[in-house]
Structure 1
Amino acid sequence: MAGPQSRAVGVNMETSFSLKKTVLDVLTSLSDSFAAFLPRAVTALIIFLIGLVVAKLVARLIRTSFERLKVDDLLEKVGMTDILQKFGMREAPGFLLSRLVFYLLLLLFTQSAAQAVGLTAVDNSISAFFSYLPHFLAAAIVLFIGMLVAQFAGGAVTRSARDSGIDFAHILGRIVSSLIIFMAGLMAVTQLKIDAEIVHSVVLILLAGATLALALTFGLGTREITRNLVAGFYARKLFAVGESIEVQGVRGSLSGVTPLLVVIETANGLTTLPNAIFLEDVTRQES
């Protein structure tokens, strides 16, 4: 008859055997998983390295093409370089484009590598990024074209106002440029598929209020200023500085025409009159 000691030894042997079998099963499972994962990992690494080489070659091709075709010089003439510098991008457009294409290609090959090793989360994230990328590019193009138009329109307004003798010509140009950029920004937000209905409503209300306020201001509060500005514009076209004129009983040499006043040098000194007198009184030119 077996004693208690022999039964304890049997239980210990069974427990030891069971633990050993469990460890062996775990190690076997790990080795099988590693053996199955290793080919996929090697495949993913090869895909990533190929993508790295392809991305570098394409980026170099873009930079070389821009340099040989003088594309950077052309873009600088149309103002693209200045716009990029406003966003803190000091490099040439060709270099920036090559870097963008490099990272996009690298990301695309990274997605293929993630698919090879079964990283579904990474694959889905990159797919979502590329699905949204066309909207982002469309918004960037709209905003960029808007900034080009704003730069051209602002410069044209500034030159026209300066030629008309308006002292705040630069401010007018900046206002026109800012309005165009603002509208381009709203269009860019729409391209991003962001719900901007509330923003559009607020903007329409603000623009309507600003337009009404501006109309009332010019219609009621600044009628005389507007008349002087218009009269001064035409006076500079009709009369030359140094020419002898007589207007409203003042005779002398025309010293200058400011946006609001005409300056006449008489025998008693300088006399200033509002430009509107050219619209109200007969002006005589003396030879």
Structure 2
Amino acid sequence: MFSFLAQTETPAPAGADVPPAESPEAAAGFFVDIYQRVMDALMDKVNQFAAFLPDLIIAVVLLVIGLIVAKIVRNVLTKVFTKIKLDDLLDKLGIGQLFGKMGIQSGPSEFLPKLIYLVILVVVIQVAAQAAGIEDVSELIGKILAFSPRVVTAIIILLVGFIVAELVSNAVERALDNFGLDYARTLAKILFGFIFILFLTVALPQLEIETELLNATVKIMLGGLAVALALALGLGLKALAHDIVAGVYVRDLYKVGTEIEVDDETATVAGVGPITTKLQRPDGGFFIIANHLLVSDKIRGRSAE
């Protein structure tokens, strides 16, 4: 009786869901299915890598060969540029100094081979990426290389502008120094900036950069400079122009060594400048007098000849 009660199962309440009993075979099939999916995914990756491996090997070989070629070209160019003394040649032309002013520490014979080395490497990387089927990298480098002629053109324009601005500003500074202007260097620097900005407005469109605002700014600045120079020449430089013109006559009238009397003081002409004349006293001292005074005032003198 008791064994019968022990073997009797309590019936489930009415309406309750009874989960189906899972057999050991069903559980084993579940894990086998997961294992099979994992193995299929791994084999798929292995097959993809096996298919990619030949292209990868070709890309690596191309990179190694390209690196070797780039180094050989760099070393050969460095030796050639050093042998022909490219640095000295560019220094004589006034171009070598630009590298230092642009923050490039190495000379042209060392910098240019490095630049060519980098260009070759970029091309090699693009070819290797294309061989390996890495289209994103290949397309990106291709776009960079396609845009590089514009960059090179812009750089050349800026270099030419830098050289022209440097030459013109130096010439103007020397000319103004000969006139004895204390602010010659400042004016030369301002002129350098304007010339370089003009070339900058030509270079930026090569990079597809809008320059309408910059062009308008340059026009306004040039207009303001023209007005300022006109006022300065008409007002502030009137006396200066008087002395410059008088200096032409003073050089003709009073040669170096001529003894003259100025304000009851005897002195010898030591030199005639664009604006002033240097007079030396008998005791070795000297004083400076404006050129127009030697033309407008009554001067007594004795010729040096």
Q: TM-score range by the shorter chain?
A: 0.7 to 0.9
CA 1:19–1:170: 2 relative to 1, 3 Å: closer
Kept in 1, the 8 Å contact 2:205–2:211? The answer is yes
Kept in 1, the 8 Å contact 2:180–2:275? The answer is no
After superposition, where does 1:226-241 map in structure 2 within 5 Å? Answer: 226-232=241-247, 235-236=250-251, 239-241=254-256
Q: Say if 2:62 is the partner of 1:39.
A: no
Deviation, 1:235, is 2.9
Q: Say if 2:5 is the partner of 1:13.
A: no
CA 1:134–1:90: 2 relative to 1, 3 Å: same
Counterpart of 2:114?
Answer: 99
Q: Say if 2:77 is the partner of 1:72.
A: no
Deviations 1:220-247 (A, max 9, x none): 2331233223423553465334313468
Which residue identity does 1:187 align to in structure 2? Answer: V
Q: Say if 2:144 is the partner of 1:123.
A: no
Counterpart of 2:212?
Answer: 197
Counterpart of 1:275?
Answer: 291
Provide the rounded CA distance (Å) in 1 between the counterparts of 2:55 and 2:252.
81
Kept in 2, the 8 Å contact 1:59–1:98? The answer is yes
Candidates 99, 108, 114, aligned match of 1:84: 99
Structure 1: gaps (5+ residues): none
CA 1:285–1:167: 2 relative to 1, 3 Å: farther
Counterpart of 1:207?
Answer: 222
Greater displacement, 223-232 / 201-210: 223-232
Deviation, 1:285, is 5.5
Deviation, 1:249, is 9.4
Candidates 149, 154, 162, aligned match of 2:177: 162
Kept in 2, the 8 Å contact 1:72–1:92? The answer is yes
TM-score, reference length from structure 2: 0.80
Percent identity for Structure 1 against Structure 2: 32
Kept in 1, the 8 Å contact 2:279–2:286? The answer is yes
Deviation, 1:158, is 2.9
Candidates 131, 138, 144, aligned match of 2:153: 138
Which residue identity does 1:142 align to in structure 2? Answer: I
TM-score, reference length from structure 1: 0.84
Greater displacement, 123-132 / 185-194: 185-194
Provide the rounded CA distance (Å) in 2 between the counterparts of 1:270 and 1:51.
72
Which residue identity does 1:106 align to in structure 2? Answer: L
Provide the rounded CA distance (Å) in 1 between the counterparts of 2:209 and 2:64.
37
Kept in 2, the 8 Å contact 1:246–1:286? The answer is no
Kept in 1, the 8 Å contact 2:179–2:273? The answer is no
Deviation, 1:204, is 0.4
CA 1:7–1:140: 2 relative to 1, 3 Å: closer
SS at match of 2:23: helix
Greater displacement, 5-14 / 111-120: 5-14
Kept in 2, the 8 Å contact 1:167–1:259? The answer is no
Kept in 1, the 8 Å contact 2:246–2:292? The answer is yes
Provide the rounded CA distance (Å) in 2 between the counterparts of 1:231 and 1:39.
87
Counterpart of 2:200?
Answer: 185
Deviation, 1:32, is 0.7
Deviation, 1:139, is 1.5
Deviation, 1:60, is 1.5
The count of corresponding residues between Structure 1 and Structure 2 is 283
CA 1:265–1:111: 2 relative to 1, 3 Å: closer
Which residue identity does 2:134 align to in structure 1? Answer: L
SS at match of 2:269: strand
CA 1:25–1:176: 2 relative to 1, 3 Å: same
Provide the rounded CA distance (Å) in 1 between the counterparts of 2:26 and 2:97.
84
Kept in 2, the 8 Å contact 1:255–1:263? The answer is yes
Deviation, 1:39, is 0.8
Q: Say if 2:57 is the partner of 1:57.
A: no
Structure exhibiting the larger radius of gyration computed from Cα positions:
2
